[in-house]
């Protein structure tokens, strides 16, 4: 199996790897929409979706009932509905851009995955090698650059719909996305100032950020959330704004804009917007975890290499030294963290009320941006002093 894979042309190998990642991200978007309904129900103290079930599973005595209550089959029901519903194309829209917008929404969501590492394995020499589709040293910059293209789908959707509410939604969206991009970019600079010590090779790779959170010693093993809490806070807040999640869901804000930019959309095109939103959330959470929550390391001060070493020591079997096992373990840890972050996204959504548009602008420009600049200056001076001593 492995030999066969390695025989293939590198182009085919890359294609297979890319497909594998997309096959994980795309359904995960659908599952997230289900989780959203279930979490919201849990927070609001109601049962939530608990009816749909496939007949032959309903025949299983106890387990079938349990699965029904869990609402797992609503994902399939929702997906089927979106696929088979009539895909209406209103008369008054600009047809070309109307169809283009949902497709454009998917492109950044699925392109940014390529530079986000999602796990790691140990090579025979004991070094940690990140698992990533494209390991480029501009890493995070590539994520920011491609993610910033996501604004076009909102602008085009709103404009092509050629009616009042979608247009207002898209105008708000573009203003919001451009405003919060600044604070987001500024908030991660302290992390890269810290990991690009003098004399080292310059990098903006996300794998490097994790490497610096898995060093030995008190300061080495510390996750950056403890070292730079303000940066983490600014990044997370901007992430909420960039992914259009409540309390920043200005482009949609169904209370005053019906459905915002996707008012005129239905069926699968509407579904694509939603999958793109959740895919953006997954990738944003992934980046946040890599930068501030130690990536694939299980606990602060306990890197994955140590954990595997202990397991190997305790059980004495070579099972834990197998790179496949380590890789799988790291992916599991990373995904557990991502899923927790997505839960946090939903938790905030169903707890905090939506900001008004002027409040969104005020928070972005008058509060978050000055805070980000002050934070950057403070860390720049602090890191310079520490590194000059050390």
Question: Which one of residues 118, 159, 273, 278 is an interface residue with another protein (CB under 8 A)?
Answer: 159
Q: Is 365 an interacting residue with respect to another protein (CB under 8 A)? A: no
Structure tokens given for 130? 């990140």
Q: Is 203 an interacting residue with respect to another protein (CB under 8 A)? A: yes
Q: Is 165 an interacting residue with respect to another protein (CB under 8 A)? A: no
- To the nearest whole angstrom, how small is the minimum distance from the Cβ of residue 120 to another protein? 22
Using CA atoms, how far apart are residues 294 and 290, in angstroms rounded to an integer? 6
* CB-nearer residue toward another protein: 153 or 375: 153
Q: Is 103 an interacting residue with respect to another protein (CB under 8 A)? A: no
Of 47-55, 141-149, 237-245, 321-329, which part binds another protein (CB under 8 A)? 141-149
Q: Is 377 an interacting residue with respect to another protein (CB under 8 A)? A: no
- To the nearest whole angstrom, how small is the minimum distance from the Cβ of residue 197 to another protein? 12
Question: Which one of residues 50, 163, 174, 387 is an interface residue with another protein (CB under 8 A)?
Answer: 174
Question: Which one of residues 152, 233, 268, 270 is an interface residue with another protein (CB under 8 A)?
Answer: 152
* CB-nearer residue toward another protein: 175 or 321: 175
Q: Is 212 an interacting residue with respect to another protein (CB under 8 A)? A: no
Question: Which one of residues 33, 50, 135, 148 is an interface residue with another protein (CB under 8 A)?
Answer: 148
Q: For 249, which DSSP code?
A: -
Q: Is 141 an interacting residue with respect to another protein (CB under 8 A)? A: yes
Q: Is 358 an interacting residue with respect to another protein (CB under 8 A)? A: no
- To the nearest whole angstrom, how small is the minimum distance from the Cβ of residue 372 to another protein? 17
* CB-nearer residue toward another protein: 159 or 296: 159
Using CA atoms, how far apart are residues 352 and 241, in angstroms rounded to an integer? 13
Q: Is 386 an interacting residue with respect to another protein (CB under 8 A)? A: no
Strands in the chain per DSSP E? 119-122, 128-131
Number of residues that bind another protein (CB under 8 A): 28
| 116 CB neighbour count, 10 Å cutoff | 25
* CB-nearer residue toward another protein: 98 or 320: 98
Instruction: Kindly report the three-state secondary structure assignment for every residue of the chain.
Output: CHHHHHHCCHHHHHHHHHHHHHHHHHHHHHHHHHHHHHHHHHHCCCCCCCCCCCHHHHCCCCHHHHHHHHCCHHHHHHHHHHHHCCCCCCCCCCHHHHHHHHHHHHHHHHHHHHHCCCEEEECCCCCEEEECCCCCCCHHHHHHHHHHHHHHHHHHHHHHHCCHHHHHHHHHHHHHHHHHHHHHHHHHHHHHHHHCCCCCCCCCCHHHHHHCCCCCCCCCCCCHHHHCHHHHHHHHHHHHHHCCCCCCCCCCCHHHHCCHHHCCCCHHHHHHHHHHHHHHHHHHHHHHHHHHCCCCCCECCECHHHHHHHHHHHHCCHHHHCHHHHHHHHHHHHHHHHHHHHHHHHHHHCCCCCCCHHHHHHHHHHHHHHHHHHHHHHHHHHHHHHHHHC
Of 12-20, 197-205, 235-243, 331-339, which part binds another protein (CB under 8 A)? 197-205
Q: Is 215 an interacting residue with respect to another protein (CB under 8 A)? A: no
- To the nearest whole angstrom, how small is the minimum distance from the Cβ of residue 136 to another protein? 6
Question: Which one of residues 42, 97, 270, 357 is an interface residue with another protein (CB under 8 A)?
Answer: 97
Question: Which one of residues 138, 374, 380, 386 is an interface residue with another protein (CB under 8 A)?
Answer: 138
Q: Is 178 an interacting residue with respect to another protein (CB under 8 A)? A: yes
Binding site for another protein (CB under 8 A): 97, 136-138, 141-142, 144-146, 148-149, 151-152, 155, 159, 167, 170-171, 174-175, 177-178, 181, 196, 201-204
């Amino acid at each position: 199996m492995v030999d066969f894979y390695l025989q293939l042309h590198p182009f085919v190998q890359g294609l297979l790897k890319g497909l594998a990642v997309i096959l994980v991200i795309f359904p995960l978007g659908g599952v997230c929409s289900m989780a959203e309904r279930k979490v919201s129900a849990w927070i609001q103290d109601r049962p939530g979706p608990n009816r749909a079930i496939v007949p032959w599973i309903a025949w299983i005595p106890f387990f079938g009932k349990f699965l029904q209550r869990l609402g797992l089959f609503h994902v399939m029901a929702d997906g089927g509905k979106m696929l088979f519903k009539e895909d209406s194309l209103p008369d008054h829209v600009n047809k070309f851009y109307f169809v283009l917008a949902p497709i454009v929404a998917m492109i950044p969501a699925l392109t940014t995955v390529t530079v986000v590492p999602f796990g790691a394995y140990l090579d025979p020499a004991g070094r940690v090698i990140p698992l990533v589709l494209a390991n480029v040293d501009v890493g995070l910059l590539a994520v920011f650059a491609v993610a910033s293209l996501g604004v076009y789908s909102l602008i085009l959707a709103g404009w092509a719909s050629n009616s009042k509410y979608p247009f207002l939604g898209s105008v708000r969206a573009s203003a919001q996305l451009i405003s919060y991009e600044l604070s987001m970019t500024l908030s991660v600079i302290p992390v890269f100032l810290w990991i690009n010590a003098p004399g080292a090779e310059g990098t903006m790779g996300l794998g490097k950020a994790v490497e610096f959170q898995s060093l030995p010693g008190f300061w080495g093993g510390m996750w950056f959330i403890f070292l730079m809490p303000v940066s983490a806070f600014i990044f997370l807040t901007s992430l909420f704004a960039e992914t259009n999640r409540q309390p920043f869901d200005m482009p949609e804000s169904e209370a005053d804009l019906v459905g915002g930019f996707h008012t005129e959309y239905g069926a699968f095109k509407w579904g694509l917007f939603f999958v793109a939103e959740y895919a953006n959330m997954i990738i944003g959470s992934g980046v946040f975890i890599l930068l501030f929550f130690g990536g694939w390391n299980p606990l602060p001060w306990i890197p994955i290499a140590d954990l595997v070493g202990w397991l190997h020591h305790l059980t004495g079997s070579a099972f834990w030294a197998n790179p496949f096992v380590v890789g799988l373990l790291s992916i599991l840890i990373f995904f557990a963290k991502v899923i927790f972050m997505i839960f946090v996204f939903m938790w905030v959504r169903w707890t905090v009320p939506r900001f008004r548009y002027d409040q969104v602008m005020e928070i972005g420009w008058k509060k978050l941006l000055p805070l980000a600049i002050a934070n950057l200056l403070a860390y720049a001076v602090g890191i310079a002093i520490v590194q000059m001593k050390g």
